[in-house]
Chains A and B, each alone.
Chain A
Amino acid sequence: MSFLAYDFMQRALIAAVLVGAAAPAIGTFLVQRRLALMGDGIGHIALTGVALGFLLGTAPVLTAIVVSILGAVTIELIRERGRATGDVALALLFYGGIAGGVLLIGLSPNGSSATLVSYLFGSLSSVRPIDLVVIAGLSITVIGVAVVFGRELFAVCSDQEVARVSGLPVRFLNILVAVTAAVTVSVAMRVVGLLLVSALMVVPVAAAQQLTTSFRATRIAACGLGVAASVGGLVLAFYADVAPGASIVVLALGAFLVAALAAQLRPAR
């Protein structure tokens, strides 16, 4: 357990536990709504936010949160309006996010494309004490939203029309999911990186549902798996000296494979 001797590892581990629990908590609702790739899109847009932070000389996390929330609300409004054209509009938004990020980082005095890499794939040493406070606050907010609005979010993510006739504020709840996903992306980017953050929202859910039969059990198991993969991946990254985002996601995918095999082997329900 020598890795615990380093302050940066202690902070990274605390961040990993928080992010590992928060990402699947909101990810379950994205999967339920068949929007598994939404987090990926928000991650692309958040890159512009990170670069904007470098350009303006402010904290990249703050600009990432602002830009990704704006992006997420835009995605939701585009989705609400139409189907076919919305698909292309989303693609334009996502490509714009990556291109904007690389462009802005090039323009900023103290940044280069290499700077962005730590944000794309995560970095062990990048979690500063102040980051930890932000990560803790936002992770708890994300989990809080998933718990407090759980019943309404399940109804909305299962059947939008029935939810509307039930009198639920469907647009508010959809935007709540989008904004919460955006916050999760910004929070998790230091640990897993923007390109892989969506994996932490989706893969634990996909793994859990191989073996679960209820929504509640899927949600709890996914959060547990998310924490285990994040912590395990971080330790792996420390010893193997690789980007933590990659090792976390590989572990989560491994859990998915094991769960899928176990589901195949056990008798049919």
Chain B
Amino acid sequence: MSVFDLRGGCVALGGREILHEVGVTIEEGEFVAVLGANGSGKTTLVRALVGLVPLTAGTLEIFGTPIARFREWPRLGYVPQRLAVGGGVPATVREVVASGRVGRARRLRRLGRADQAAIDHALEDVGLPHRAKDPVATLSGGQQQRVLIARALAGEPDVLVLDEPTAGVDADSQDTLAGALGHLSRQGGSVVLVAHELGPLAALIGRAIVIGGGRVVSDGPPPEPEGHHAHAGHVHTHAHEPAPPGRPSLFEPGTFER
């Protein structure tokens, strides 16, 4: 069964069409990267897949059910692009991760043993069990990103959708993240992630969908790394700034643009 089946999907934001008749099918167990330049529509695509932006045309099925009738939301885990964990009141790492369990928890009941175990596993997967009782605001940016991923993992999703999980994240956190996603993938889970820089995730990617100008420009095996990106241990530190001239970036080229 397909996890996501989007056909002829159009999305307009503020009266301007961002996605033009995009067709994307993602099968169970796939590990897919959605690549493209800034403004290409890759974030809009994954936001449409999880139902955060409505389609103006086309159809979307999630696990074989049209989105309007889809109710099994706990099967989806979503990690939005955030610089930090939000909220104006202090919360511990464990409280934030536990909130990812909300879709599966019973009202007025304390979280049961299965819930607690899922939260523990999620914390272990991102390497933060020792920080469980710390206020989340005291963690570094990369660690906070790991908390957001643990929050999604705590819901024990069948598919995890992540928007730029590696943006601005330190090398250690990127490695931990790659480990956690690899773990989910080996257990049969599907992963869809928007990426600007793949870093240590590159080895996990089975398929790359490249978006340009609101359309799918290529869909298939991930491109082979070239140039300095191919060097072992290469770490991207330029999270969002455009690549300087003479230093071609693999997924930033204008060649993907219309």
Query: A85 CB to closest chain B CB, in angstroms?
Result: 12
Does A128 interact with chain B (Cβ within 8 Å)?
no
* Complex-state Cα separation, A269 to B161, whole angstroms: 34
List CB contacts (< 8 Å) of B69-113 with chain A. 71-74, 76-80, 82, 85-92, 95-96, 99-100, 102-103, 105, 107-108
Query: Which DSSP category, helix, strand, loop or mixed, fits chain A's interface?
Result: helix
Q: Are A158 and B138 in contact (CB under 8 A)?
A: no
With A213-B133, A214-B90 already in contact, the answer to whether A166 and B108 are too (CB < 8 A) is: no
Partner of B99, one of A36, A151, A205, A213: A151
With A32-B88, A218-B90 already in contact, the answer to whether A154 and B99 are too (CB < 8 A) is: yes
Does B39 interact with chain A (Cβ within 8 Å)?
no
Q: Are A214 and B95 in contact (CB under 8 A)?
A: yes
Question: Which chain A residue shows the least CB distance to B76?
Answer: A165
Does B215 interact with chain A (Cβ within 8 Å)?
no
Task: Enumerate 10 A-B pairs (CB-CB under 8 Å) in ascending A order.
Answer: A32-B87, A34-B86, A158-B96, A158-B99, A164-B52, A165-B52, A166-B78, A215-B89, A215-B91, A269-B138
Does B222 interact with chain A (Cβ within 8 Å)?
no
List CB contacts (< 8 Å) of A199-218 with chain B. 205, 209, 212-216, 218
* Complex-state Cα separation, A91 to B242, whole angstroms: 40
* Complex-state Cα separation, A209 to B135, whole angstroms: 11
Query: B165 CB to closest chain A CB, in angstroms?
Result: 14
* Complex-state Cα separation, A31 to B135, whole angstroms: 16
* Complex-state Cα separation, A209 to B91, whole angstroms: 10
Does B22 interact with chain A (Cβ within 8 Å)?
no
Does A127 interact with chain B (Cβ within 8 Å)?
no
Q: Are B92 and A214 in contact (CB under 8 A)?
A: yes
Does A161 interact with chain B (Cβ within 8 Å)?
yes
On B, residues with C-beta under 8 Å from A are 50-52, 71-74, 76-80, 82, 85-92, 95-96, 99-100, 102-103, 105, 107-108, 133-135, 138, 151-152, 155, 161
* Complex-state Cα separation, A31 to B86, whole angstroms: 11
Sample of 15 further A-B pairs with CB below 8 A, known A154-B91, A213-B133, A214-B91: A28-B89, A34-B87, A151-B99, A152-B102, A158-B86, A158-B91, A158-B96, A162-B100, A165-B78, A167-B72, A167-B103, A168-B102, A214-B90, A215-B87, A215-B90
Query: B70 CB to closest chain A CB, in angstroms?
Result: 9
List CB contacts (< 8 Å) of A5-58 with chain B. 28, 31-34, 36
With A151-B107, A162-B78, A162-B151 already in contact, the answer to whether A36 and B89 are too (CB < 8 A) is: no
Query: A171 CB to closest chain B CB, in angstroms?
Result: 14
On A, residues with C-beta under 8 Å from B are 28, 31-34, 36, 148-149, 151-152, 154-155, 157-159, 161-168, 205, 209, 212-216, 218-219, 269
Chain A contacts for B74, CB-based, 8 A: 166-167
Q: Are B90 and A212 in contact (CB under 8 A)?
A: yes
Query: B54 CB to closest chain A CB, in angstroms?
Result: 12
* Complex-state Cα separation, A192 to B134, whole angstroms: 35
* Complex-state Cα separation, A87 to B40, whole angstroms: 30
Q: Are A205 and B103 in contact (CB under 8 A)?
A: no
Task: Name the residue in B51, B103, B105, B152 with the highest tally of chain A Cβ atoms < 10 Å from its Cβ.
Answer: B103
Question: Which chain B residue shows the least CB distance to A219?
Answer: B89
Q: Are B89 and A218 in contact (CB under 8 A)?
A: yes
Chain A contacts for B80, CB-based, 8 A: 159, 161-162
Query: A90 CB to closest chain B CB, in angstroms?
Result: 18
Q: Are B96 and A214 in contact (CB under 8 A)?
A: no
